[in-house]
Amino acid sequence: MPDQADLLPGSLDLLILKAISLGKLHGYGVLLRIEQISGGALQIQQGALYPGLYRLEHQGLIKSEWGVSDNNRRAKFYQLTAAGRNRLGEEFGARPNSPVLLFSSASRDRRQSYL
């Protein structure tokens, strides 16, 4: 299983953008979605995720709003902005061997379904 140090610089931001592109998520949901996309090969720590979410929000690539989670707790939900969708399209178009594909143990067909 790859270590976080094995990820290419900027890969975490791409993974977060990709996870959020599939629907509005709270922080823990982003962690689960990244694990799902990678077929369990990537497990991002909360200590890395939340600074990444803050950075992407500060850059205007995602936005957040407070809501209620499935277990009736208050949570911050994230979604892509138009700029975030554009960045994601640019990055995945320029990187056919994206981090999702490089580190995924899922089948090729399953990985492609997420892209």
Dist CA 99 CA 42 (whole Å): 10
Domains in the chain, number: 1
Residue 14 lies in a domain: yes
User: What are 48-82's pLDDT values in tens digits?
Assistant: 999 999 999 999 999 999 999 999 999 999 999 99
- Full DSSP string of 96-111: TT-HHHHS--S-HHHH
Residue 22 sits in a domain whose CATH number is 1.10.10.10
Rounded Cα distance between 98 and 37, Å, is 12
Please state the pTM of the whole predicted model. Answer: 0.75
Does residue 115 lie within any of the structural domains?
no
pLDDT of 103 > 70? The answer is no
Domain span including residue 28 = 4-110
> Is 48 inside any structural domain?
yes
Both tokens assigned to 13: 């931001």
- Do 74 and 68 form a contact (C-beta atoms < 8 A)? yes
Residue 109 in this model has a pLDDT that exceeds 70: no
